[in-house]
Chain A
C-alpha cells in the first residue's frame, strides 16, 4: 500500500475558512487596495477620508504592503505624482473627497484623457457652502462629466471587493480609464461591519499581469508625444482631439461589459458573500407595480422598508444603481420594464433641473423606454442626515400615489423641517 496514493486523492483545492473581521468602510477600502498590490500611493488626508489613508500608511510602514507612499502638499500634486507613476508603468491609487476632489480637478480631467488606469476612492462628502464635513454624494456627482468610471458601494464588504476589482477594470485593455470607487462618508466610512477577507493568492490570480502604460508612457526606449497639443480648426488638430474623446466614450461603453464580467469572475472565485449586482440591482421587482430607486449605503434601509411594505401587501420593488458612470441604460431599461411609477432618492442636488442627479439621468432612460412613467425626485441624506427605514416608508407611500396622479415638478426634500 502506497500512502502517497491516498494523499494524491485529496481535493486539489483545500476548503478555506474565510477570515472574518469587523472593519470600517475606510479600512475595508485600504485592505482592498493592499490586496491589489499598487506600486504607488499618493495622499492628502481630508475628512471623512482620513482614516483610510492612515490605514494605508500603516500597512506600508509595517511592511504588509509593498508600495511607495507620498504625502503630497495638496490634492493637485497627489494626482500629478500618480500620473507620472502611471506613465512609468506603476499601478496607482489615491483617495479623497469634497474640497480635496475640487482642488484635484485639473489633473482629474487629464487622467481620463490620457487613459491612465488609476483607482481613486471618493469617500463621498457633501458640497460646501454652508460648511459641513459630513457625507453626501455632491462631490462625486459634480465631477461626473470628467470621464471617470464611478461605482457606488452599498456595504463594507462591497467596498473591499469593488476596490480590488476596480484596478482590473481600469487596466482592462478595452477600458483603460480611471475608476472612482464611491463609498458614503460617515455611514460607510465609519460604519463597521463584518467582512470576509478574500485570499491573497486567489486575488493575485484574479489580478493577472500588470500592464498599465502600453499605450502611453514616459519611456526613453519608446519615445512618444504624451498629452500633445491638439484641437483648433486646422490641420489634424480637431481630428486628433475628437479621436481622444471618441476613444474615451468607447472605453466607457466597453466598461459596462467588463464590469459585469469582472463581478461574475469575482463571485465565482470567492463565493456568494462576494456576489454583487455589477450595474443595476433589481430587488423584489417581480410583479411590482411601482419601484423606488437608490444609490449607495442608503439601500440597506430601503430594502428593509420594501420588505415591510411587501409584507403589508404593497407591490413595490427596488432598483439600486451600482455603476453610475457609465450610466447603465440597458440594465435600467430592463429593471423598469413593468414599473408604472418610480420614486428616485438622491443624496445630492442637481441645481440645473431642481431635482436629484440620478433622477435627472433616469429621465433619459424613461424616454428611451418609450412610455410615460410618472416619476418623483426625492432629495435626502444631505450633509450626513440619516435615511432610515421610516424615511423610505414615506418614499414608498409618495411613489405609490403616482399610480393615481401625475408627478410633481418639485422634488420632495427629505430631512426638511416642513
Chain B
C-alpha cells in the first residue's frame, strides 16, 4: 500500500488532482482510492485530499494519517499547516516552490524531496497559478509511483475544453521535466 496526502488551498484543485492521480494509478493496473477530507472548505483555505494505491484491492475508506508521500501544491501553505504530520520515516515530499532546497523547510522524516517552481510555470501556461496538474508531473518524477503516460491519458479523457486540455498536458509534462529531485542523507529511517 502506498499512501499520498495532497495539501492545497481551496480552489487550487487538490481534490481534483487526487481523483486524476487515482485514475492514472488504475490505468497503470493498480487498485486506487481517493478521498477528500471534509471540512469547511472555501477558496484560499487549507484543504487536503488522500490517495491510496495498491496491487491488491483496497478496503479502508478512511483519511490517511501516516502517508508515504506528501504533495504540497501551494508554496506558502507550510507556514500555516504542519504538512509533515505523520509522514513515514524516509518518506517523500513534493513541494511547489521557487526556492532552492537549502531554503525549503524539510522535516527530519523526509527522505526524498521533489521541488518544482509550479507557480511560475503555471502562470506562463495558464496565466493563473493553477498548480495541480503540474504537481502530478512533479510527483511522477519524484516517486516513480505513477507513469507519465497514464497521467496523460487521464487528462486526455477528462472534461477539459480544447485549450484547457492542451494547457494541462503541457503543465503535466513541464511539471515532470522541470522538477529537481534530491535524495537526502542521514535521515531518520526507522
Contacts and interface: CB of A to CB of B under 8 A. Distances in A.
A193 B32 contact: yes
Given A21-B26, A22-B23, A22-B26, A194 B31 contact: yes
Contacts of B105: none
Interface stretch (A9-17, A245-253, A296-304): A296-304
A384 interface: yes
B19 A22 contact: yes
A15 to B, nearest CB: 18
B19 A301 contact: no
Given A21-B26, A299-B59, A388-B62, 6 more contacts: A155-B59, A190-B38, A194-B32, A297-B61, A300-B58, A386-B62
Contact of A187 (B22, B58, B62, B65): B62
Contacts of B65: 388
Contacts of B31: 193-194
A96 interface: no
B34 interface: yes
A196 to B, nearest CB: 11
Q: Contact size class for B? A: 10 to 19
B35 to A, nearest CB: 5
B61 A187 contact: yes
A186 interface: yes
Give chain A's interface secondary structure class.
mixed
Contacts of A24: 19
A191 B49 CA distance: 10
Give chain B's interface secondary structure class.
mixed
B121 to A, nearest CB: 27
Interface in B21-63: 22-23, 26, 31-36, 38, 58-63
A140 B38 CA distance: 21
B63 A388 contact: yes
B26 A186 contact: no
Contacts of A191: 33-35, 61
A273 to B, nearest CB: 8
Could you say which of A21, A193, A303, A386 has the most chain B C-beta atoms within 10 Å of its C-beta? A193
A192 B60 contact: no
B36 to A, nearest CB: 5
Interface residues of A, number: 26
Interface string A242-281: 0000000000000000000000000000000000000000
Interface in A1-30: 20-22, 24
A297 B58 CA distance: 12
Contacts of B38: 134, 186, 190, 384
Interface string B59-81: 11111010000000000000000
A412 interface: no
A186 B23 CA distance: 19
A140 to B, nearest CB: 18
A2 to B, nearest CB: 41
B61 A300 contact: yes
A386 B63 contact: yes
8 contacts: A21-B26, A134-B38, A184-B61, A190-B38, A191-B33, A191-B61, A192-B35, A388-B62
A226 to B, nearest CB: 42
Given A21-B26, A22-B32, A194-B32, A389 B19 contact: no
A304 B38 CA distance: 23
Please name the 9 residue pairs, one residue from A and one from B, whose CB atoms are nearest each other, closest first: A300-B59, A22-B23, A187-B61, A192-B34, A301-B60, A297-B61, A191-B35, A194-B26, A388-B62
Contact of B58 (A190, A193, A384): A193
Nearest to A134: B38
